[in-house]
Each structure stands twice: as structure tokens, then as C-alpha cells.
Chain A
Amino acid sequence: MIAAVGLVLGIVVGLFLEPTVPTWLQPYLPIAVVAALDAVFGGVRALLDGIFNDKVFVVSFVSNVLVAALIVYLGDQLGVGTQLSTGVVVVLGIRIFANAAAIRRQLFKA
């Protein structure tokens, strides 16, 4: 409950504050968002499986974001930032799909 409220609250704050993304953060923010989305979907799945653990969620969330940002950073240093970003997005996208499929099975048995 409180997590959903937090999500909505963040969206509202973002809409009202209209902050600009600092330049150093610009390459990492989209990847970080996708990684966080993956963590959230994983959390929802765990919740429906009845194995949700807030500590696990926090750790997976933070580590997902950090690892994604690190990969992009390394890719930028190596000159393959664009390709690595694409790779990370693809992997995270697959994970999100898998989690979404698990959630669907739990809820609709299909």
C-alpha cells in the first residue's frame, strides 16, 4: 500500500517540480529507471508468491540500479556505451517480461 502511494507521490512530485537532469546523470538515468522497473516487477512477483521481503527488495533495487549504471559507465569508458546500454535494456526487458508473465500466471492462472 505504502509503496504504491510512494510511487504515485514520486510521479506527482516529478510532474510539479519539473527538474532538469544534470548532464553527468543523463546517460545513466534511463538505464537506472529501467533497472528499477525490473526490481519493482520482481518485488510484485515475490509479493504474489508470498515470499516478499523488504530487505531483499531494497538490496535488489539498489544493486540493479548501481550495476546498470556501472555497466553503462564502463561502456562509455570503453567506447561501446551505446551498444552496452542497448544490451542492458534488452536484458532488463526480458527480465521484466518474465516477471510480468509470472505475475500474470499467479493472478489469472494463465
Chain B
Amino acid sequence: MTDVERPARPGRGAWGRLASAFRPGVKRGHLLPALLCALLGFAFVVQVRSTQETGLEGLRQSDLVRILDDVNQRADRLRTEARDLDDTRARVTSGSSGSRAALQAAEDRAKVLGVLAGTLPATGPGIELTVSDPKGKVGSDVLLDTLEELRDSGAEAVEIGSLNGPAVRVVASTSFADTRTGGGPGSRVVVDGTELTSPYRFRVIGDPRTLAAALDIPGGVLDVLGQDDAQGVVSQKEKITITSLRAAPSPRYARPAPEQSGE
């Protein structure tokens, strides 16, 4: 660079030259440099002031365009981000409410199916049918007929049992059998492996009047029982609660088929 050490001139050092330069007095040749220095000071102050005052108006066009571009790009980026976040929020809220609704529906459905499958206790209006069979002539076939009649007339949950003994929840797979083939005196009815004794009691949930009428038709269940020297008594109830349950067997072979529709 240019700042090489130079030997100071003998006699008159840098300080001396500086002092002589600041000695009062006007040299004619220094007028123009002084004018230029004044110009510099003036311009300096003006520039400093305009820098402090102006924000954007002091910038040249290309800078302004660049700043505008930056701002626009930033705005675009932020808009995109906001849109994404909006989408995400909408997805999350709708997804959670949708899954909650689906869960609710599934639970409701599970309860309904539980009532039908006999895995849940059930309550509702219905009838009680008491079958007293002093001569032991009522066999499994009669009880099965009675059950079919009840189902035909809209029974939704059925329990069958001895009047003061065990009760069995009747489901789709419930079986009726006699202890002795063909029935007859001394034979007892076995429902789902549980031996029942007369008098039998059906507790049925459904429309009480429809059920009672179905049992009472000519040639119906009550008539048949009368022919067998047995007696059936129907009482309609506002509320019947069936508490006997049946464990739901898990299928060994059958699996739920995937739904065909894409819902």
C-alpha cells in the first residue's frame, strides 16, 4: 500500500507542518480547497439529514422494485402458509368431529346389537306369559311354537325360565330339547342346556297388545296349551326388564367381509 514509512524531513516534522497549516491567515491558493471543503461539509450534512428523514423515497427505482418484490414474495409465502394452516385446521376439526360421530354411532349400534344378541340387559314394555303344565304334557315343541309366535309378532328380547328357577335369554341360536325323546310325562324341557320345570315363564319385550293378541288368536298358542290340559296366562306390562345374559360366542371361521362400497 501507500502507507510506507517515510523518513521525516529534518527540522520540520509532521506536527510542525500541521501547526503551520492551521496558522491564521489566508493564502490565495487555499481558497478553492476551502470552498470544496465547505461543499463537502454541506453535502455531508444534507445527506445525513435526508438519510434520517427518508424511508423509501430516497431509494432508486431498482431498489424499490426489489423491495416490492421481496414484500410481494413474503406476502405470497405467508398467504400460502395461512391457507395451509387453515386447511389443516379444517381437516383436524372435521376429522375429530367426524370420528366422534362415527364412534357415537358405533356405540349406539353396538348397544342395539347387544340387546338383539342377548349380551346386554334390555328393558321396555312387553308381556309375561306364564305356562302352567300340571300334567307335564307341554314339550319343547310347544315352547318353540310359542317362541316363534312371539317372534312373529315382533318380540325384540325374550327370556324363558321356570317361575321360581333359572332363566335363559333367548337368542337366534337358542335350542329347545326334551330330556326324553318325544316328550311325555316326566320329561323336562332343556333350553340351551338349562333344564326348566313347569310352570314356565316367558318374559318378552315388544308391543304388549300385539304380543297378547298374537297369543290369543283362535288356534293360537293359548288354544294349543288348553288342548294339552295346560294353561297360559298373559299379562301385559308397562315395563319389563330382562337381566339374564348370554355370552356372545366369537366365531371361529366367519370373519366380517370387507365392505364393498368405499364409504
| Chain A CB within 8 A of B174 CB | no
A3→B42 contact, CB < 8 A: no
A2→B30 contact, CB < 8 A: yes
Question: Chain A residues with Cβ under 8 A from B6's Cβ?
Answer: 49
Q: Considering only CB atoms and an 8 Å cut-off, how many residues of chain A contact the other chain?
A: 51
Q: Considering only CB atoms and an 8 Å cut-off, how many residues of chain B contact the other chain?
A: 46
| Chain B CB within 8 A of A70 CB | no
A7→B38 contact, CB < 8 A: yes
Q: In the docked arrangement, what's the CA distance between A50 and B13, Å?
A: 9
B40→A40 contact, CB < 8 A: yes
Please report whether the interface of chain B is mostly helix, strand, loop or mixed according to DSSP: helix
B33→A29 contact, CB < 8 A: no
Report if A102-B3 is in contact (Cβ < 8 Å); known contacts: A43-B33, A107-B18. Answer: yes
Q: In the docked arrangement, what's the CA distance between A39 and B6, Å?
A: 21
Instruction: Please report the number of residue pairs spanning A and B whose Cβ atoms sit closer than 8 angstroms.
Output: 139
Q: In the docked arrangement, what's the CA distance between A18 and B42, Å?
A: 10
| Chain A CB within 8 A of B35 CB | yes
A18→B38 contact, CB < 8 A: no
| In-complex Cβ contact of A26 among B3, B26, B60 (8 A) | B60
Please report whether the interface of chain A is mostly helix, strand, loop or mixed according to DSSP: helix
Question: Chain A residues with Cβ under 8 A from B46's Cβ?
Answer: 14, 19, 21, 29
Report if A1-B58 is in contact (Cβ < 8 Å); known contacts: A33-B40, A106-B14, A107-B18. Answer: no
Report if A21-B38 is in contact (Cβ < 8 Å); known contacts: A58-B32, A98-B1. Answer: no
| In-complex Cβ contact of A54 among B3, B29, B43, B51 (8 A) | B29
B30→A54 contact, CB < 8 A: yes
B37→A21 contact, CB < 8 A: no
B40→A36 contact, CB < 8 A: yes
B22→A107 contact, CB < 8 A: no
Closest to B1 in A: A98
Question: Chain A residues with Cβ under 8 A from B41's Cβ?
Answer: 6-11, 13-14
State which residues 18-34 of A face B: CB under 8 Å.
18-21, 26-27, 29-30, 32-33
A58→B34 contact, CB < 8 A: no
B 204-215 binary contact with A (CB < 8 Å = 1; else 0): 000000000000
Q: In the docked arrangement, what's the CA distance between A33 and B24, Å?
A: 27
Q: In the docked arrangement, what's the CA distance between A1 and B26, Å?
A: 8
Shortest Cβ distance from A106 into chain B, in angstroms? Answer: 4
A21→B34 contact, CB < 8 A: no
Question: Chain B residues with Cβ under 8 A from A52's Cβ?
Answer: 21
Question: What are some 20 contacts across the A-B interface (CB < 8 A)?
Answer: A4-B37, A6-B33, A6-B35, A6-B41, A10-B45, A14-B41, A14-B42, A21-B47, A26-B60, A30-B51, A47-B18, A50-B17, A54-B30, A61-B36, A79-B62, A81-B62, A82-B63, A82-B66, A98-B1, A106-B14
Enumerate the 5 nearest inter-chain pairs by beta-carbon distance, A residue then B residue, closest first.
A10-B41, A14-B45, A6-B34, A10-B38, A6-B38
Chain B contacts to A: CB under 8 angstroms: 1-3, 5-6, 8-9, 12, 14-15, 17-18, 21-27, 29-47, 49-51, 58, 60, 62-63, 66
